[in-house]
Structure 1
Amino acid sequence: MSARWLRTLTPWLLPVLAGLVAAWLRYGLIEPPAMAQLCTAAQAPTWCALRQALVLGFLHDVYGVIALIAAVLALLRRSRALAWLAAALGAVALQLYNYEPGALALLVGCLRLVHLQGAGNDVATTPAPSPESTHR
């Protein structure tokens, strides 16, 4: 019973974890003025390259585009992994200033994940029930 519960809950906790990591990057590394001052100094720390890459990513809507691509793939394929990826990347895009595409990808990923968890498998390998069996 607990293994099934854990298997059901894990895909929902991982996008939350991705959002928390993105929030830590945003509020701990990108937004603080002290971090910006350190990175504009003559001898900037080596982690400033990561900060600069993160800033360029949201300035060019990279996170939102990647999240939308994952959402489209989640719609085209019946895969829990792609649904989870769309939800996780949507959460990251929401935190890193790509609100509209991030919200759409998060919504699509979550809805797809609910649908696939309701189906009980990653790939539709079971035949659809016959009309006679559903009305008994």
Structure 2
Amino acid sequence: MVVVNVGSCIGCRRCERSCPINGITFNEFPIKCMHCDKNPCLYACPENAIERIDDKVVVIKDKCIGCGLCALACPFGAIRIDGIAIKCDGCYKRDVEICKEVCPTGAIDTLEEILSNKLCNTLDKLSKLYNIYGGLKGSAK
């Protein structure tokens, strides 16, 4: 799952400008489709215009009637209606999502990678604190 680390996002909007689907932003932060496991948008669509392709939730434009039920069902607000439903398709035809490639700060990445980086940063900080304060405690004896 590709998400936006808002702490690293600088609001440059490169992801939005490079997105072939015209990404959706809120308060300058990109909103990405989470390609949910339970797909509320997929089940809300009366025309079966939303499908799961290569583990991505994709709108089939030729089938969409623009009723907006998918947008109402999306818990993340990642679908807009402009005649038809428009949402991130996860660049399902590519190996890497375009928004992730163009992000200058690496704010757009897989959830696992963002969490791993945060964990590594936290462990580095704890290690430095331990070296500073652990050494003081040992020298007080």
- TM norm structure 2: 0.31
The answer to which structure has the higher strand fraction is 2
The structure showing larger relative contact order (alpha-carbon pairs under 8 Å, at least 6 residues apart) is: 2
Higher helix share: 1
Instruction: Give TM-score scaled by structure 1 length.
Output: 0.32
